[in-house]
Chains A and B, each alone.
Chain A
Amino acid sequence: MADRITLKVTRYDPGRDHEPGFQTYEVPLRKDWVVLDALNYVKDKVDGSLSFRWSCRMGICGSCGMMVNGEPKLTCATFVSEYMPGPVSVEPLKHFPILRDLIVDISDFLEKLTKVKPWLIREEERRVVDGEYLQTPEQADTFRQFSMCINCLLCYAACPVYGLDPLFTGPAAIALAQRYNTDSRDQGTNERLDILSQHDGIWGCTFVGDCTRVCPKHVDPAGAIQQYKLTAAKEWIKSLLMPWGGR
């Protein structure tokens, strides 16, 4: 095995550069190094000005998502040796405004996330003294998959619809809405549907399916969106047949 590999890293200094460019670095190639290790090597040993986000180094915090050779990846879970003999390009997540180097501005997602109300909604809150809302393991199983989302936004970087129309609510936010819809303790499905059945909500999705392919946590956001469409269509038919029915 060669003992060095070249990284091609996006650099962008908003105070100085007109647009992002690439800078190459040669780093040692270690069998147990992930792309994030290589970036940290550059930052520690070669160029301290290189900026990128990371925290847990174990696929939990969701902050280290970048484009590695054009694919959205968690850099802490992607081995450099997979890209032998190199060079490996490391770019900021696609479809988001670039703040600096590999750091993108995700405020758009955070706003959308709050809009879909990803929390338990009750028609009437139970008093604390009356105890918790109970749930069986089977009921918990129905939404477990969706609750695995770590907000890494790889799915947004994979979604061409989001790239072309930034108003689209997007995969993770819809999957998280579905996580609460399918929670037996929640009563907010209709409230969320009012928001998500708008044009930029679920109907923006044309089922490219790449979000599901890149998701490191197997959340299957594309599946969540299609399920949601079915629910919305059923509600619509119900409202046609029984306009007086109210919800």
Chain B
Amino acid sequence: MAGPTEYLPKTFRPRVSTYWWLGRWSYLKFILRELSSIFIAWFVILTLLQISALKRGPADYVQLQEWLRRPILVALNALSLFFVVFHTVTWFNLAPKAMSIRVRGKPVSNLLITAPNYLAWLAISAAVAWLLLRG
């Protein structure tokens, strides 16, 4: 951008405060969503830990389960679950924004785009639950 000239004198550049995200709910929600990636990473690591324990044999797996029963880890996993659900819901709600589908010249309602996502989520969760609980 051009610097100060005779016609465009000096300007004042306001600075964005470090705490800008505290001022408004939509900003805070956004920061929480960004933060959720840390918890998603934790779930990925946890899954890897479980797989490696499985590979090492039943004794190791039982040990891992013991470790996971500690209150601090239960709390961490509950918090992570909250963030993962938060991330998923905000992501699904975003889908209709990105897909502007028109049928016979009319935009398709948002619900028609969001609903299949939720249904797929439910179906996959049910399938996983069936796999785990059937035995």
Contact = CB atoms under 8 A, between A and B. Distances in A.
Interface in A16-70: 17, 19-20, 70
A98 B9 contact: no
How extensive is the interface on chain A, given as a class? 35 or more
B100 interface: yes
A142 B99 CA distance: 13
Contact of B27 (A98, A210, A220): A210
Contacts of A230: 98-99
B105 A208 contact: no
A163 B16 contact: yes
Contacts of B30: 160, 206-209
Contacts, number: 71
B11 interface: yes
B16 A164 contact: yes
A84 interface: no
B98 A229 contact: yes
Given A97-B11, A207-B30, A160 B1 contact: no
A154 B20 CA distance: 17
Given A98-B11, A160-B27, A213-B26, A226 B97 contact: yes
Interface in B66-94: 94
Contacts of A141: 105
B130 interface: no
Nearest to A230: B98
A235 interface: no
A97 B94 contact: no
B102 interface: yes
A17 B10 CA distance: 11
B98 to A, nearest CB: 4
A113 B99 CA distance: 24
A20 B94 contact: no
Contact of A138 (B11, B13, B14, B105): B105
Contact of B20 (A19, A20, A160): A160
Contacts of A179: none
A99 interface: yes
Contact of A14 (B9, B21, B23): B9
A166 to B, nearest CB: 9
Given A111-B1, A208-B27, A209-B26, A223 B100 contact: yes
Query: Max chain B CB contacts within 10 Å: which of A20, A98, A138, A207?
Result: A207
B12 A14 contact: yes
7 contacts: A97-B12, A210-B26, A210-B27, A213-B26, A220-B97, A223-B100, A226-B94
Interface of A: 12, 14-15, 17, 19-20, 70, 94-95, 97-99, 105, 107-108, 111, 138, 141-142, 160, 163-164, 206-210, 213, 220, 222-223, 226-227, 229-230
